[in-house]
Structures are given as structure tokens and as C-alpha cells.
Amino acid sequence: VALHDLAALHDSVALLPHDSVALLVHDFVALLLLDLAALLC
């Protein structure tokens, strides 16, 4: 998965309404990005 695609996904998630589901998804994406960064380093 390209970093550009991940950034686009993150931006699309950030534009969602700020309800509990959107926040959970945002947190999940953030954790996923951290995991990917840890694997790449």
C-alpha cells in the first residue's frame, strides 16, 4: 500500500462527522500507520 493512499485514507477519515464511530476509525487508522512505520523502520 502506497503512503499516498494511506494519507488519502487518513484525510477521508478526518472529514467524517466527529461521532464515536468516526473517532474509533480514526484511532484505528492511526494505530495502523504506527504499526506500518514500526515495520518499515
**Across the chain, what does the average pLDDT equal?**
79
Per-residue confidence (pLDDT) for residue 6, from 0 to 100: 75
Distances (CA, A) of 4 to 9, 23, 27: 9, 21, 19
State percent of the chain over pLDDT 90.
5
pTM: 0.46
Q: Any idea which residue has 492511526 for its cell?
A: 30
Mind listing the pLDDT tens digit for each residue in 15-33?
766 677 777 888 898 999 9
Per-residue confidence (pLDDT) for residue 16, from 0 to 100: 63
Cell numbers describing residue 25: 476509525
Per-residue confidence (pLDDT) for residue 23, from 0 to 100: 79
